[in-house]
Amino acid sequence: MNAPIKVIYILSLGHSGSTLLDLILGSHSQIESVGEIMAFGKYWKSFSDNSLTLEDKDRCTCGFHVNECDYWSKVRYEIEANCEELGIVPSFNSKEEIDQNTYCLMKAVLKVSEKKIICDSSKNLFRLKNYLKSELFEVFILHLVRDGRAVAYSWAKKRTHSEKEAQYSYFNILKRWQKFNINNYLSFSNFNNYFCLRYEDLVNDPPHIVSKILKKNSLEFESDQLQFWKLKHHNLYGNRMRRRSNQEIKIDSSYLENLSHQEWWLGTLLTASGLRLFDYSIQRKYQLK
Ligand SMILES: [Zn+2]
């Protein structure tokens, strides 16, 4: 029987700050984060096929393309040496694929990084359920919530006009925010290995919130974690933030200035039960506990 691998799994909607949380956690001396592992199949192809055109956003956080990065070459070598059953283009979504592929990948990542715990910021609920069904992983669920009005504003502003009219409209994202966060809270909050945190509190006092997360995983906070840009990371996928240098952790309150009166109040009404559950007030102000 293979020893279970400890995984800290970030469960959140997009635009909730998971890249920041992932980088801070992955900067701990015992935690390795390689980003959204769910998307790894895409990179696997490029290991063996140099002719594949990778876009700039597909670069590893270290700056190299995944097929030129030393770290990923070592991981690939480990996988090829130890995981015979792994297909040429593994995917990482169903329970079987998670058992076969993710375990091999993570074992290789832990060996190369010489760390003990993996942080997977795939965010997706179905992937989490597959982890929980498997005996190969010991999962700690990190449910990251950000004010729904900020999430929906951030998501909608990046879309084209026609996309905004459909599923990415401000109001549709708000509905999704409410359903996703309430359902996940109800499903997992009784678990011992569950911690719910608000992005606003993380940004306001990172040492306090990160210490709490680490304590639940029997680890101590390391102050270097907050200067994550000084360390070399090898995350794949995730937003552009992972490749910027010298980043101050600061509050983004642009939604407070830019949402119209109607968007604010209708959005607040639409998500009233979710806002109440996660302690967000109806007032138009930055939400701290
Ligand atoms: Zn790299």
State pLDDT tens for residues 17-64: 998 999 999 999 999 998 777 777 666 666 656 666 667 667 788 888
CA 192 to centroid of chain Cα atoms: 20
Q: Is 91 helix (H, G, I), strand (E, B) or coil?
A: coil
Taking the centre of ligand 1 as the mean of its atom positions, its distance from the CA of residue 237, in whole angstroms, is 12
In this structure, what are the phi and psi dihedrals at residue 236, rounded to the nearest 5 degrees? -115, 145
Per-residue pLDDT at 86 exceeds 60:
no
Q: Which residues surround ligand 1, an ion (CB under 5 A)?
A: 60, 62, 69, 71, 234
Taking the centre of ligand 1 as the mean of its atom positions, its distance from the CA of residue 189, in whole angstroms, is 35
CA 16 to centroid of chain Cα atoms: 9
pLDDT of residue 267: 95
Per-residue pLDDT at 240 exceeds 60:
no
pLDDT of residue 93: 59
CATH number of this structure's domain 5-146+191-250 = 3.40.50
Taking the centre of ligand 1 as the mean of its atom positions, its distance from the CA of residue 55, in whole angstroms, is 15
Taking the centre of ligand 1 as the mean of its atom positions, its distance from the CA of residue 135, in whole angstroms, is 30
Taking the centre of ligand 1 as the mean of its atom positions, its distance from the CA of residue 165, in whole angstroms, is 38
Q: Could you give the count of Cα atoms lying within 13 Å of 48 in the half-sphere of its Cβ?
A: 11
pLDDT of residue 101: 76
- What is d(CA 278, CA 256) in angstroms, rounded to the nearest whole number? 18
Taking the centre of ligand 1 as the mean of its atom positions, its distance from the CA of residue 33, in whole angstroms, is 12
Domain ranges (residues) in the chain:
5-146+191-250
- Of residues 206 and 34, more confidence is placed in 206
Residues near 91 by beta carbon (within 8 Å), at least 6 away in sequence: 41, 97, 101
Taking the centre of ligand 1 as the mean of its atom positions, its distance from the CA of residue 178, in whole angstroms, is 36
Taking the centre of ligand 1 as the mean of its atom positions, its distance from the CA of residue 242, in whole angstroms, is 12
Residues near 93 by beta carbon (within 8 Å), at least 6 away in sequence: 38, 126, 127, 130
pLDDT of residue 29: 96
Taking the centre of ligand 1 as the mean of its atom positions, its distance from the CA of residue 92, in whole angstroms, is 20
